[in-house]
Amino acid sequence: MAEMPTFFLSSPGDRPAYHALAEHLWGIGCDIDSDGNSSSPDATDWTELTIILRANTDKRIDIDSVSSTGPLVLSIRSDDAELAYRAALYLCDVAGGELTKP
């Protein structure tokens, strides 16, 4: 089984609302399932997020914090390398930080 393409975003600031990331990837009004630790739909301090496009469940992004101490580092991964890359670039553009791929 191949490893999921993963990017790391170190020291990001406020993240976009989770639905803004979905809309960036799949368009305004996209129908998604989501899970994570966002306290409200517009929260910007989330550190865990999974979003899945309902029309194509292969379109899935998983974002998690990789450390509980020190600066925040988010892992951004998907079975779809292009989708992971687009999500990572968007998060870096909005939240800042340093984007790397191991």
- pLDDT for residue 3: 67
- Check if the beta carbon of residue 4 is closer than 8 Å to that of residue 77: yes
Whole-number Å distance between alpha carbons of 85 and 69: 26
- pLDDT for residue 2: 55
Contacts of residue 93, Cβ cutoff 8 Å, sequence gap at least 6: none
From first to last of its 102 residues, the chain has per-residue pLDDT tens of 456 779 999 999 999 999 999 999 999 999 999 999 999 999 999 999 999 999 998 999 999 999 878 899 999 999 999 999 999 999 999 999 999 987
Strand, helix or coil for residue 71: coil
- The tokens for 89 are 């670039």
